[in-house]
Structure 1
Amino acid sequence: MVQPSPPSTRRPDALAFALLAALGALWGLTPALGKAAFGLGATPLAYVFRSALVAATILFVVGLVRRRPLPLDASGLRFHLGSGLVGFAVPNLIGFLALRHVPAGLFAMVIPAAPLVTFTLSAALGLERATLRRFAGVVVALAGTLLALSPGAALPEGGALGWAFASLAVPACYACSNVFAVRFRPPGADPLALACGTASGAAAWLALAASVPGEPWGPLALARPFPPYDVFAAAQGALTAVAYAIYFRLLTRHGGVFASQVGYVLVLTGLGWGWVLFGEVPGPLIVPAAALIFAGLALATSPSRGPSP
């Protein structure tokens, strides 16, 4: 088993905060792109498969140019397949299935639960210090998330409440992926290689799912004439490649606590993209819901005082 990497000692600089803001903007745009593609007839499996393939190709080419080899030993392959499944393929499929029934801005209120669940899992595994303050933050932020799922907040009256709650599986998958990355990432692996491996693993899993009889979007479907929504899939893949490269850079250089602060940015950018692109206007309960999420994130993701376990 690969041991957890030691926490980074680098203090975040102006570039780190700029990358954090860019990451939040990119991830906030993801649901909006998917919703636009589904309006043109895309299916979730086709969309996620093609975007993963584009992301993996871009990252692989950049890695070749920059001479950042992809780890292909046993630990490397284990990481690529595990991270690609739990951190990309499964949450994106669930998320884009739900997006056909809920507003794009709703995900801006749900995804920040990922660092909270990450902390809970990490504390249970002894990777993070468990304190009353941080557990209180988890409770407060999850209360805000549940409030955001209610009619009158991010979910309109008469919205698909079942799909709204199903979307909670997305941050749960991301949390499992965060813990998996800490415990099993190949030692000394470059962030760009980790990003490429994750996207490549996801593309492999999705190609396997797409090869099921009756699914018309298998790997050979790429040879067919591109429908209009492939523009969105290509854009999604390019954004994913950039976002994953930024995420793993922040994770390896500044640690998971700093990277988790993207939740603050994501709440604002996700709601903003939903409003600009689809005219989604949240209800009045969105203000207290966002306040609870922000307060919970501040309590749960701020570093604990004292030595690490």
Structure 2
Amino acid sequence: MRDDRVVARKGLPPTDAALLLLAAAIYGGIFPVNRLAAETQWPPVGFAFAQSLAAGVTLVLAAAVTGGRFALTAGQVRTYLILGGLVVGLPIGILVSAAPHVDASVLTLVLCLSPIFTLCIGALAGLDRFDWRTLAGMLLGVAGVAVLALPDAGVVGSDGVVWFLVALLAPVMFAAANNCAKWLRPEGASSAVMAAGTLLGAAVVAGVVMLALGGAALPSEWTGRTATPLVLATAINAIFFVLFFELVARMGPTRFSIFNYLAVAAGILWSLAVFDERPAASFWLALVLMLAAMYLVLSRKPD
């Protein structure tokens, strides 16, 4: 696996940039899928549990069919639980708990702090270079999301301050997951194996969170319409998490984290296509800012 400090000496290869855009385009589909899940009465944490479990099992079966091997050691189980908890199980529980107390647009802005936290964690650990060009790109990305979210954002009231502070843990966890995807990856483990293990770990942690919150695992009624979002989310997660581990290995956690901004834009585009919504003029400004952020971060050169 390549070291971030080596990757940082040159601009990102076009293939990696294309894969990053592909990952954002694929994962952006999860936003309209989540809306479909809500419309069919899926419990939020139950949906996170079901899609993680289904995607993890799908990847394990795919590995078996293609002659791959999904081995489990105590160390690997620990890695999968940590990554699964950081990327799905714990942050989903936090955001679901905070949602009734904090405006949704404010939570959107909170989540967009993940790339900056990724940069800070990597720099503090000495495994990534603190780079002003990268930081400028991160801030441009925040500005792009702010253009989308601020018009409808409300001020956090006094009763929501504590929950707002609790919600700040979610982007820290996503940022930690970006870095841990590199730090904790066992030597020689393929991206497909890491994706399968992480999704199964996420299912375990989400299941614990679901039980702790007293939530249901499935909708009250099971129909073909109810199954559709689960099938779509399973496919999205299975493909995306393979790309996630591949891209973090190729470009490092900080560069990969710009994905957060691109996924927001992709999610809106998917929603426009699926639900025939009309984009506001501010969307195109936000998209330009996010693409500029991507350029600054991915074209980083040595000082």
- The equivalent position to 1:229 in structure 2, one of 226, 230, 241, is 226
Name 1:35's counterpart in structure 2: 35
Greater helix proportion: 2
Matched residue, 2:182: 182
Residues 46 and 207 in structure 2, CA contact (< 8 A), matched pair in contact too: no
Name which of structure 1's ranges 260-269 and 64-73 shifts more when overlaid on structure 2.
260-269
Q: Which runs of 5+ in 2 are unaligned?
A: none
Query: 1:47: how far off?
Result: 0.8
**Taking structure 1 as reference, are residues 70 and 160 closer, same or farther at Cα in structure 2, changes over 3 Å only?**
farther
- Shift in CA distance, 124/15, structure 1 to aligned 2, threshold 3 Å: closer
Q: Alpha-carbon deviations, 1:115-173, whole Å to 9, x = none?
A: 3321122112211111333333333433443343211xxx4x87999799987765443
Amino acid at match of 2:302: R
Counterpart-to-counterpart distance in 1, 2:272 and 2:97: 20
Name the counterpart of 2:296. Answer: 299
Seen in structure 2, the aligned counterparts of structure 1 residues 41 and 87 have a Cα distance that, compared at 3 Å, is: same
- C-alpha distance in structure 2 between counterparts of 1:92 and 1:197, whole Å: 18
Are the structure 2 counterparts of residues 81 and 169 from structure 1 closer, same or farther at C-alpha, using a change threshold of 3 Å? same
Question: Does the Cα contact within 8 Å between 2:138 and 2:258 map onto a contact in 1?
Answer: no
1:118 aligned onto 2:134: no
2:270 aligned with 1:273: yes
Residue matched to 2:196 = 196
Question: What CA deviation, in whole Å up to 9, does each residue of 1:92-123 have, x standing for no partner?
Answer: 455677899758xx96x876653332112211
Q: 2:243 aligns with which of 243, 246, 261?
A: 246
Give the percent of matched residue pairs that are identical in Structure 1 and Structure 2.
Answer: 25
Work out the CA distance in 2 between the residues paired with 1:170 and 1:276: 29
Map of 2:76 onto structure 1: 76
**2:259 and 2:214 mapped to 1: Cα distance?**
39
Judged with a 3 Å threshold, the aligned counterparts in structure 2 of structure 1 residues 257 and 139 are, in CA distance, closer, same or farther, namely closer
CA contact (8 A) 1:94 1:170 kept: yes
1:208-219 → structure 2 map (5 Å cutoff):
208-212=208-212, 214-217=214-217
TM-score (ref. length: structure 1): 0.76
Report deviation, 1:262.
3.6
Q: CA deviation at 1:40?
A: 1.6
TM-score if structure 2 supplies the norm length? 0.78
Secondary structure at the aligned position of 1:229 is classed as helix
Q: Is the 8 A contact 2:37 2:229 kept in 1?
A: yes
Whether contact under 8 Å (1:112, 1:264) holds in the other structure is yes
* CA-CA distance at 1:230 after TM superposition: 2.8
Range with bigger deviation, 54-63 or 64-73: 64-73
Kindly indicate whether the alpha-carbon contact (under 8 Å) linking 2:24 and 2:259 is maintained by their aligned counterparts in 1.
yes
For structure 1, which runs of at least 5 residues remain unmatched after alignment? none
For residues 131-210 of structure 1, the aligned pairs below 5 Å read 131-151=131-151, 155=152, 170-210=170-210
Aligned residues: 292
State the secondary structure of the residue aligned to 2:150.
Answer: coil
1:257-295 deviation line (CA, Å, top 9, x unaligned):
554454564244222112223344454444444444443
Q: Over aligned residues, Cα RMSD in angstroms?
A: 3.8
Q: Distance in 1 between matches of 2:15 and 2:286?
A: 30
Look up the match of 2:127.
Answer: 127
Question: What is the alpha-carbon distance in structure 1 between the residues aligned to residue 178 and residue 60 of structure 2?
Answer: 22
Whether contact under 8 Å (1:79, 1:181) holds in the other structure is no
- Please state whether the residue corresponding to 1:123 is helix, strand or coil: helix
Rounded to whole Å, the distance in 2 between the matches of 1:169 and 1:29 is 24
Structure 1 contact 75–184 (Cα < 8 Å) conserved: no
